[in-house]
Structure 1
C-alpha cells in the first residue's frame, strides 16, 4: 500500500511504494487530514506518476521550487499520455521544459498578456507529437481551467520534438562540455547584442535548458538522421532570416569546436528558439505564414 512521504496539498502527495521506489499520486481529497507515514487506499488514487530513478526525483524537486504542484502533475499526465498512448520516447528534461512552458503560458493567459505563437507548423512531419499536443490542450483545460487557443498546439508539440530520444535513466554529459557549450552560445548571442533581459528572460532560460541537455541528447539519438524535411528548412530561412543567421552561427561553431556529427535538425531547433528570443516576425513576402 502506498505510504505518504510528503503532502503537497489535499489532492496530491508523494508516496513510498512497496519495493518500487516512489511516485506522485493524485486524487480528490486523498491527503486530507493525513500525515507522513499514513497509507493511501489505492481505490482513492485517480492518477499515479512513477519516479523511476534518481533523475526523475531530482526533476520533481527542481520543479516544485518554482512551479505549482497542479501544473507539475498536469505535465506528468501529458507526458504519460505521450509515452503510453503514442509510444513517444522522450528525454527526462521535458518534465522541466514543458512544466515551465505551461506555467508561464498560464500566467500570461491569466494576466491578459498571452499572445498566439508564431512557431512554424510541423504537423505533417510530426503527427504523433501534434496528436499528443492536441490532447494536452484538453488535459490543461480540465486540470487548470485554461482554454488556450488551438495555435498553442504548436508550442506544446515542439517540446516533444525537441526532447525526442530514449533515456537510459541517468544523464551522461560532462560538466566541462556543458560549460563550454553554454559559453560558446552566449558569445555568439552577445555578438548580436542578445543578452538576458526582463522581457526575454523566459525564452532565454528555455534556450539555455535546451543547450544544457544538448550533448546528452546527441549521445542518445542518431545524429545523422534528419527528420525535418528540406521544405521546412527553406521556409524557416525565408521567413526568419535574422533568426536563421544567428542560429546558423551557433550551429556551425558547435560543429566546428565541440560536436562535429550534430544533425541538421538541431539547426532548425536553434532557429525556433532564436526567433522566440528576438521576437522576429515572419518576412512580409511570406504572408501566408503570418498566422503561425
Structure 2
C-alpha cells in the first residue's frame, strides 16, 4: 500500500515509497474521499513517478507553485518514456524547463497565440530525441487534450538535446558563477535595449531558468563536444542576425572569462531564447508594426 503524503487532485498524489523515497502516483480517482495519511492500493495506480533525490523533490515543489499538476505529471510521463523506453540520460533540470515550456505552449494554444516553432530541424543528428518528442505530442494530446502541430516536436526535442548528461545523485550549483553569468546576460541585454516587461516576461524568465542550470550542465557534460552542425547556426545567423549578434556577445564573454571549453551549441540555445525575447519586447513589436 502507498501512503498519501499530499493530495494534488482526485487523480494524483505524492506518496511514500520504500527506503524513505517518495513518488507521484497517478490514476483515475485514486484520492477520491481520501486524505493525507490514507492508503492507496498499488493496483489502482496507473503511473508512478519515483522521486529519487532531494533535488527531484525540490523540483516538484517548484513546479507546483506555478504549473498545474496535470501538466507536471504529463511532463514526468514524457521524461519517464525518454529514460525507460529510449534510455536517454538527462539532467534533472529538464523537469523544470520542459514543464515550463509545455505549460507556456498550452496556454498560447488555448488563447490562440500559439505559433509554429522557430527551432531548426535536427532530426538527422538526433533521431532518438525526435522519436521521444513525437511520442510526447501523443502523450500531451491524451492527457491535456491539446493537439500541437508536428513542428512542436522540434521544441520538445531541443529540451532533451539541451539536457543530455549523466546526473549526479544531487545537483550542486555554484551560486557565485551562476550570479556572474546572470549579470553578464542582463548587462548585454540591457545594452541592446532588452528588458523584462509584461509582454516578454514568460520568455525572459525561461531564459533565466536556462542560465540557472547552465552551470550545472557545463560541470556535468562534455562541454567541448559540439554536436549541432554548423549549418544550423549559420541558418539562424542569416534568419535572425540581431539575435545572433546578442547571443554571440553573451557566449563570447562567458567563454572567455568563465568556461573556455564551452561548446558552440550553447550559442544556438542563446539565439533561440533571445529571438523569442525580441519578438515579445514592446519596442521591437512597435518596430515590426512600422515596417511596410
Calculate the TM-score normalised by the size of structure 1: 0.93
Once the two structures are TM-superposed, the CA of residue 270 in structure 1 deviates from its matched residue by: 1.1
**Equivalent position of 2:123 in the other structure:** 123
CA distance in 2, matches of 1:106, 1:223: 32
- CA offsets 1:152-206 (integer angstroms, 9 cap, x no match): 1111111111111111022222111111110011101111101111121111111
Deviates more, 1:256-265 or 1:50-59: 256-265
CA distance in 1, matches of 2:262, 2:78: 29
- CA offsets 1:63-120 (integer angstroms, 9 cap, x no match): 1111111010000000001111111111111111111111111111111121222221
Once the two structures are TM-superposed, the CA of residue 243 in structure 1 deviates from its matched residue by: 1.1
CA distance in 2, matches of 1:158, 1:201: 21
- CA offsets 1:16-62 (integer angstroms, 9 cap, x no match): 01225100000011111112112111110000000001000000001
1:61-80 equivalences in 2 (<5 Å): 61-80=61-80
CA distance in 2, matches of 1:56, 1:173: 14
Is the Cα contact below 8 Å between 1:63 and 1:72 reproduced in 2? yes
CA distance in 1, matches of 2:277, 2:154: 17
- CA offsets 1:123-158 (integer angstroms, 9 cap, x no match): 111111111111011000000011111111111111
**Equivalent position of 2:3 in the other structure:** 3
**Equivalent position of 1:226 in the other structure:** 226
CA distance in 1, matches of 2:199, 2:38: 45
CA distance in 1, matches of 2:160, 2:198: 27
CA distance in 2, matches of 1:85, 1:139: 14
Whether 1:17 and 2:17 are equivalent positions in the alignment is: yes
CA distance in 1, matches of 2:237, 2:126: 20
Is the Cα contact below 8 Å between 1:2 and 1:18 reproduced in 2? no
Structure 1: which 4+ aligned runs deviate by more than 6 Å?
none
- CA offsets 1:244-279 (integer angstroms, 9 cap, x no match): 111110000001221111111111111111122213
Q: How many residues align?
A: 280
Whether 1:146 and 2:151 are equivalent positions in the alignment is: no
SS, match of residue 65 in structure 1:
helix
Deviates more, 1:220-229 or 1:233-242: 233-242
> Which ranges in structure 2 are unaligned for 5 or more consecutive residues?
281-292
Whether 1:49 and 2:49 are equivalent positions in the alignment is: yes
CA RMSD of superposed structures (Å): 1.2
Once the two structures are TM-superposed, the CA of residue 15 in structure 1 deviates from its matched residue by: 0.4
CA distance in 2, matches of 1:22, 1:88: 22
Whether 1:272 and 2:259 are equivalent positions in the alignment is: no
**Equivalent position of 1:290 in the other structure:** none
CA distance in 1, matches of 2:173, 2:22: 26
Whether 1:135 and 2:139 are equivalent positions in the alignment is: no
> Which ranges in structure 1 are unaligned for 5 or more consecutive residues?
281-292
